[in-house]
Amino acid sequence: MAKLILVPTPIGNLDDITLRSIKILEKAEVIFAEDTRVTRRLLDHLGLKNTVISFHSQNEHRQLDQVVRKIQEVTYAVLVSDAGTPGISDPGFLLVRACIQEGISIECLPGPTAFVPALVASGLPCDKFVFEGFLPHKKGRQTRLKLLSEESRTIVLYESPHRLLKCLAELITFFGGDRKVCVCREITKFYEEFARGTAEEVLLHFQSKEVKGEIVIIVDGKEEIIVKSKSYKDKKPKEKKEIT
């Protein structure tokens, strides 16, 4: 029976690959990847020679039927992203949905994803959070930011290096310059960085340096204002007027 296995790949440090992931990659008859060059570097690191086929955001709709047919022809097909867990902010979702519709078995291994270490190490509340991923580049971006500015849960955003300053400036505009944020960069890599502070402080920090690497932005939720209504006991009894 055909099966598609989703294998998370390291988000930076190649030693973060799990033993189980290596075993699955070893027996994969075909591997579908965002960027075959990136996946090939990982496979070379592991000493593997699997067949790798491109499946990325530019060809996802055009190749979807073809990829599903290929999966049906083999026993073990694997989907990987360039870094992290397939399906999180990449075209993996479409392939998983199409395979389910065709009765193909789906298995997903646990493993690396960028937003979890970023959230946990940010110092901001992580008991409740909303994962927003990449904001719209143009249409609907301001509308989305206005909605998120009222969100009380911690907000997780993905951003590219060349849009980081613009995004921080927008956070100041819609959320306020004193909103706490943490920008996480190059997670698990040599130049890993966690820039914590207010939106204004973090913007100033990155304005003075060249920004590189994958970016995760953690934004503190809006403080909830709880209005306490006076209970019956809190009400002062009216003074009785003496009848003269």
- For 175-217, write each residue's pLDDT tens digit: 999 999 999 999 999 999 999 999 999 999 999 888 998 999 9
- Give 59-90 as a DSSP string: THHHHHHHHHHHHHTSSEEEE--SSB-TTSSS
Residue range 3-108 in CATH 3.20.20.370:
no
Distance CA 106, CA 99 (A): 8
* Structure confidence by residue, pLDDT tens digits, 129-150: 999 999 998 889 999 999 999 9
User: Quick one: 115-219 is in which CATH superfamily?
Assistant: Tetrapyrrole methylase, C-terminal domain (3.30.950.10)
Please classify residue 196 by burial: count the beta carbons closer than 10 Å to its beta carbon, then call 0-12 exposed, 13-18 middle and 19+ buried: middle
Partners of 129 in beta bridges: 154
In the chain, ranges of CATH 3.30.950.10 domains: 115-219
In the chain, ranges of CATH 3.40.1010.10 domains: 3-108
Give the pTM: 0.85
